[in-house]
A and B are shown apart, each in its own frame.
Chain A
Amino acid sequence: MPRVTRGLVVIALAVGAMPRAAPNTIDALLDQYASGQFSEAVRAASATGDVGAFVKEFERAAPLWIEARPSDRQRRRLAVATFSLEVANARLVAWKTLRDLVEWSCRLLRQSDVPEPGEHAWQLASIAVAERVRDCHWAFDNCAAIVIGGVLVPSKETANHLRHGKGRFKDDARFRLAEAVLIHGWVEGEGGVAKFGVSLPAYKRYTNDKFAEKAVEEFGPLTVVPGIAGEAELHVAQLFLVVGGHEGALEHTRLALAKSGDPIVQYVAYVMSGRVLETMGRAPEAVAPYRAALGVWPGGQSATIKLASLETIAGHLDEAYALVERSLAARALDDPWRLFGYGDYVRYPGWIAELHRQIQP
């Protein structure tokens, strides 16, 4: 299709003008995506007015697009799955509809008896999005219950998505970490209590009294697993922080820093240290970890805001202005601290970048 015509079709889809997307529209979007114009294609698709119609048409047209080039089937399959995941991530407000498309894409990838290149990153990225929206019922089979009126009621809507990744990549440490994060990510919310099989009021009492202890129990074994040890320590520190266990949080951030040289772990650990110290009334001591965080992740927004605030209060306005200027100039949008609260979502940009490299022609 000529580029101009293709562009017009994409625009027509983008404004939601068509109640049912024409077949060649999905083709055009996938062509665009597979050619390396990832953000353009995702932006056009995610602007679609009728998400349900888009999903239905996509599931009909995408397999035909894959099979139109049998010699390129593997790459095209990964492109379809990654495109659908990116569209879902771009429209998190429509997740309840788009998660079905992600699950459909998961089945598409699992058609291959053994995982093809890219599936590992895809499975992790899709779980990360579930962690971002805290969709217990879709992702995690142990959460097969919901709370209605403070009472647990079995849920029928479990896709067990995490199990798919674990099944395809047995003993993979990252899936073990994701499982622990999923449990604790949800139990902090209003609805996520099923893991412990208690009513909501009882759960709240439980979290107050035993939460930090339980966190160590859940994450403890993972703090010695190569590759994820530092990150697991950081999750323990986070959970201590949430329940006010400041000394415990500081101790586990120190352990995280000692066990991992990963920039994400290092940055979050430094920011968390500073934040804990501020919460403890030791603001002057927080300056050093915030500065260390910016050394690891130049322009990092969360460290910038915290440090600039302290410098402002101390009367060092020139320093505060300079920090904010550097952060805005760096355009450091994927600030690890902002995303780490959503568990593995902090790794989502990296996994998507890896998938793009696999798809790029």
Chain B
Amino acid sequence: MRFGCAGLAALMTTAVLTLSGSPAAQDPQRPVFRAGTTAVTVNVSVKKGNTPVLGLTPADFRLFDNNVLQKVDDFSTDEVPIDSSLFLDTSGSTSGARDQMMGDLRAIVAMLRPVDRFRLLTIGHSVYQPIAWTPAGAHFEPELPPALSGISLIYDTLVMALLKRPEVDRRDLVLAFTDGVDVGSLVSAERLCEISARSEALLHVVVVDSIHAGKPQDAMAFSLPGQNPDHGLELLERAARTTGGEMHRGTFSYQDLVKTFAKVFDDFRLSYLLRYTPTGVAAGGWHQIKVETPKIRATIHARSGYFGTDEDR
């Protein structure tokens, strides 16, 4: 089933994670989320303006699955460790800013908490992972691929970032910094949207003006007509919104990346985790999720839903 991302209340689930209720071995204060197939965990950011609304209780929320009101089984405001996939578009368009890029990467990593992890994804002739999953605070010295014109695998990189296996007791954040001009990806922007609807991760995209965008005529012969539509940015935004994230417009300054990451990371950290077991709805297909805070006028950000399978029940 296809879905419209834009008009839906932004909801975010960590869909197949379930809250066991048993304490983490290493931290008795932190809840443990078990991978399962029946319960759905919804990550909800509640803000007034740019300020997170803190101190809410389960009674402040109403959660609907395909328009059926659900009972929230568990609720947490605890700070769950975050895995951040940082995607820096190192295609030809950003070739003049690499030193600054690395400096800002260090600034971003410095914001992470000891329990967090990060990795770096970039683009060469393929999708590169110059830094695999690394604990915050660890030393890193990435070797970036050479700057190339004529190829910019933005959609492919995001697919690889989004298809990250959810881990027990961790949440996933993908932050992309790019000019948004895809050249040569194997997946289309439409397919990226479909995959973002099935991913557990929250996607934010910072789009900057291109200095030297890849030219389609430089692209590989395999870039078929219709593969890279002009409305790529619109679809990138749709993909981000589907996960509960956003698209941010920036100038070609990597400080934008640092500032945006700080904002996104804080929002994510301070969001609420609601867990429910879907009842009164069919297991398979697209489940539109809607969260309300009836007593509080606020903006709610989360993903728009999740795909269930018949095996879930």
Contacts and interface: CB of A to CB of B under 8 A. Distances in A.
Do the two chains bind? Answer: yes
Interface of A: 46, 89-93, 134, 185, 188-191, 238-239, 241-242, 275, 279, 301-302, 305-306, 308-309, 312-313, 315, 317-318, 320-325, 327-328, 331-335, 337-342
A241 B163 CA distance: 28
A328 B92 CA distance: 23
Contact of A337 (B191, B218, B222): B222
Interface stretch (B41-49, B59-67, B127-135, B237-245): B127-135
Contacts, number: 106
B187 A309 contact: yes
A93 B195 contact: no
Given A308-B163, A309-B159, A321-B164, 15 more contacts: A91-B146, A239-B221, A242-B224, A305-B160, A308-B159, A312-B198, A318-B165, A321-B165, A328-B132, A335-B125, A338-B125, A338-B151, A338-B184, A341-B219, A341-B223
Contacts of A279: 224
A241 B221 CA distance: 9
B76 interface: no
9 contacts: A91-B146, A92-B149, A309-B191, A309-B195, A321-B164, A325-B165, A332-B126, A338-B126, A341-B220
Interface in B77-116: 92, 95
B25 to A, nearest CB: 24
Contacts of B126: 301, 332-335, 338
Interface residues of B, number: 39
Interface in B124-152: 124-129, 132, 145-149, 151
Nearest to A43: B143
B151 to A, nearest CB: 8
Contacts of A320: 163
Interface of B: 16, 92, 95, 124-129, 132, 145-149, 151, 156, 159-160, 163-165, 184, 186-187, 191, 194-195, 198, 217-224, 307, 309
Contacts of A239: 221
Contacts of B220: 338, 341-342
A85 B43 CA distance: 52
